[in-house]
Structure 1
Amino acid sequence: MASSVSGPIALPESRYDLSTYWGRVRHCVEIVDPTMLLTTQNDLTKAREIVSSYRHGILKETTPEFWHAKKQLDSTVHPDTGETVLLPFRMSCNVLSNLVVTAGMLTPNLGTAGTLFWQWANQSLNVAVNSANANKSHPMSTKQLITNYAVAVSASCGVAVGLNKLVPRLRNVSPNTRLILGRLVPFAAVVTAGIVNVFLMRGNEIRKGISVYDPNGDEVGKSKKAAVIAVGETALSRVINATPVMVIPPLILVRLQRTILKGKSFGVQTLASLAVIAATAFTALPFALALFPQRQGIHLAKLESSIQDKVDKNGKKIEMVYFNRGM
């Protein structure tokens, strides 16, 4: 993010009003813009120079060039480390990275082996995305990463296989209802494992606290209460993001396969599935990410007593602190 570029002058968080939901949606549309995947290292170097010139007072006002530079950094660079996030795990690549995996999970009549494979693939991707975009106050060890990965994969596979065996045994529902329930099994598995995944991958934040900063950007201390908010909101946004993507396409495709797609080849049906999933995902992602601000403010009085009496570099008592929620 552009906030990783240092300087005495504070950056505007966005060209949009982030105190409103619609402003955050418009901001998130920029962060998840897939054209940002074309950003090169040279582009990032130039973007950092432009943002740095603003932070040091050389650039006196925001310009279209400044906003484009900030957009490139916000969509490509981690706000805590200043390092470039690996391309497949950036928010701007989220829909594309998930497209094939989601299509695989929503394929009807997968069988146990197919279900296990696609749930494993989905949770592997989720672990990578959660790890790459987490708050970096406390980096996770390799051992913790492997352990949490194994638990998340086990949870998703267990739920998916268990529900796949349960749905056919439902005798008091119509065949059509049973068909729809079967198509929604991946949703239940993804939601369950998604929540587990976020809390496991970011458990260190809750146990040790995350960094909170004063309005000048100086670190005030570590807060476990802020960490609970950050991780909890991220888990909820994952569920809300998964809901339309995992629910709407199966319901639409059930209808299409009985009408327009009836008798069509496997290739045509696959392309139709990918199109419906992609359209739903591109639409839903900004709305889900925008539910909660990424950089949040909270009154210091609501956090631990050990940091409530902190003062800023000018000796003024700090009333408000800010933290990075992560994505």
Structure 2
Amino acid sequence: MASSVPGPRPLPESRYDLSTYWGRIRHCAEISDPSMLLTTSKDLERARDVIRAYRNNEIETPTPEFWKAKKELDSTVHPDTGETVLLPFRMSCCVLSNLVVTAGMLTPGLGTAGTVFWQWANQSLNVAVNSANANKSHRITTTQLVTNYSAAVVASCGVAMGLNGLVPKLTNISANTRLILGRLVPFAAVVSAGIVNVFLMRGNEIRKGIAVSDENGEVIGNSKKAALIAVGETALSRIINTTPIMVIPPLVLVKLQKGMLKGKSMGIQTLVNIGVIAVTSFAVLPAALGVFPQRQSIHVNRLEPEFHRAKDKDGKPIETVYFNRGI
């Protein structure tokens, strides 16, 4: 991210108003723009020069060139290390990286081996993306990573296999309803694993609390209640992010297989399936990512008692504090 470039002057968080849902949608659309995958090392060096000039007051106000440079760095470079994130694991590659895995999970008629393989592949990709983009100031241990990865794989495979065995036994519903429920099994598996993943990965935050600060960015302490809100909203955001991509395409495919795809080869059906997933992903991902603001505000009365009488550096009472929700 652009924040990896040092300098005394703070950077604007976005060119859009992140206090509004529409502003967050537009911001997320920029971060996940796949055209940023064409950014070269020369482009990144030029972008760093522009950001460096702004942070050292050589550029007075943000210009179109500044916003382009910030976009290139935000979608390509790790904010803590300043190193270029491996291409498949960048936010700008999010849709493309997940496309094959999602298409695999949503393939109709997967057997046991196919179901287990694609759920494993999805969780492996999730771990790789999370590790590549993790906050490097709080490193996760190898033991924690293995535990988190194993639990997510077990959860996703367990739910998928369990529901695949349960749905055919639901004889009191119509065949069409059973078909639709069967197509939604991957969604249930991915959601379950996502929730397990979030609470395991961020368990230390709930136990120890996360930093909360005043409006000037001065940290006033760690709050477990703020951490619970942050982790809970992140878990909910995983469900929101997953729902349209894992629900809309299989339902559309069921409809198409009864119409224009009826009697078509598996190859054609697979191509159409991938196309529907791609269109859905590009269309809804920014809207899903923007549901919750990254920087949250909360009244001190909703936190632990020690924050109720908090004061800023000038001795004025603090009523609202802020914290980073995380992703």
- Counterparts of residues 1-327 of structure 1 (less than 5 Å): 1-217=1-217, 219-299=219-299, 302-304=302-304, 320-327=320-327
Give the letter aligned to residue 12 of structure 1: P
In structure 2, C-alpha distance between the alignment counterparts of 1:8 and 1:19, rounded to whole Å: 25
Give the letter aligned to residue 67 of structure 1: W
1:311 touches 1:317 (CA, 8 Å); kept in 2?
A: yes
Return the offset for 1:107.
Answer: 0.9
Return the offset for 1:54.
Answer: 1.6
Residues 203 and 158 (structure 1 numbering): CA distance in 2 closer, same or farther, change over 3 Å? same
Return the offset for 1:196.
Answer: 0.9
Q: Secondary structure at the match of 2:172?
A: coil
Return the offset for 1:222.
Answer: 3.5
Return the offset for 1:236.
Answer: 1.1
In structure 1, C-alpha distance between the alignment counterparts of 2:321 and 2:77, rounded to whole Å: 22
1:140 touches 1:204 (CA, 8 Å); kept in 2?
A: no
Structure 1 residue ranges without an equivalent (≥5)? none
TM-score (norm 1): 0.90
In structure 2, C-alpha distance between the alignment counterparts of 1:300 and 1:10, rounded to whole Å: 26
Residues 304 and 325 (structure 1 numbering): CA distance in 2 closer, same or farther, change over 3 Å? same
In structure 2, C-alpha distance between the alignment counterparts of 1:34 and 1:225, rounded to whole Å: 36
Query: Mean alpha-carbon deviation: is it higher for 162-171 or for 39-48?
Result: 39-48
Residue deviations 1:184-242 (CA, integer Å, cap 9, x gap): 11111111111111221222222233344454555544433333222222211111111
TM-score (norm 2): 0.90
1:134 touches 1:326 (CA, 8 Å); kept in 2?
A: no
Give the letter aligned to residue 256 of structure 2: L
In structure 2, C-alpha distance between the alignment counterparts of 1:86 and 1:210, rounded to whole Å: 28
Structure 2 residue ranges without an equivalent (≥5)? none
Return the offset for 1:247.
Answer: 0.9
Give the letter aligned to residue 28 of structure 1: C
1:103 touches 1:277 (CA, 8 Å); kept in 2?
A: yes
In structure 1, C-alpha distance between the alignment counterparts of 2:24 and 2:15, rounded to whole Å: 10
Give the letter aligned to residue 94 of structure 1: C
Aligned residues: 327
In structure 2, C-alpha distance between the alignment counterparts of 1:137 and 1:55, rounded to whole Å: 22
Residues 235 and 251 (structure 1 numbering): CA distance in 2 closer, same or farther, change over 3 Å? same
Q: Secondary structure at the match of 1:323?
A: strand
In structure 2, C-alpha distance between the alignment counterparts of 1:325 and 1:75, rounded to whole Å: 19
In structure 1, C-alpha distance between the alignment counterparts of 2:88 and 2:16, rounded to whole Å: 27
Give the letter aligned to residue 173 of structure 2: V
Residues 51 and 295 (structure 1 numbering): CA distance in 2 closer, same or farther, change over 3 Å? farther
Give the letter aligned to residue 101 of structure 1: V
Residue deviations 1:108-155 (CA, integer Å, cap 9, x gap): 111111111111111111222233344455211001100111011000
Give the letter aligned to residue 66 of structure 1: F
Return the offset for 1:35.
Answer: 1.1
In structure 1, C-alpha distance between the alignment counterparts of 2:42 and 2:309, rounded to whole Å: 44
Give the letter aligned to residue 163 of structure 2: L
In structure 1, C-alpha distance between the alignment counterparts of 2:108 and 2:43, rounded to whole Å: 43
In structure 2, C-alpha distance between the alignment counterparts of 1:229 and 1:135, rounded to whole Å: 19
Give the letter aligned to residue 230 of structure 1: A
Q: Secondary structure at the match of 2:58?
A: coil
Residue deviations 1:65-108 (CA, integer Å, cap 9, x gap): 00011111222234445443332222211111111111111111
In structure 2, C-alpha distance between the alignment counterparts of 1:203 and 1:43, rounded to whole Å: 38
Residues 254 and 101 (structure 1 numbering): CA distance in 2 closer, same or farther, change over 3 Å? same
Return the offset for 1:49.
Answer: 2.4
1:296 touches 1:324 (CA, 8 Å); kept in 2?
A: yes
Percent identity of the aligned residues? 73
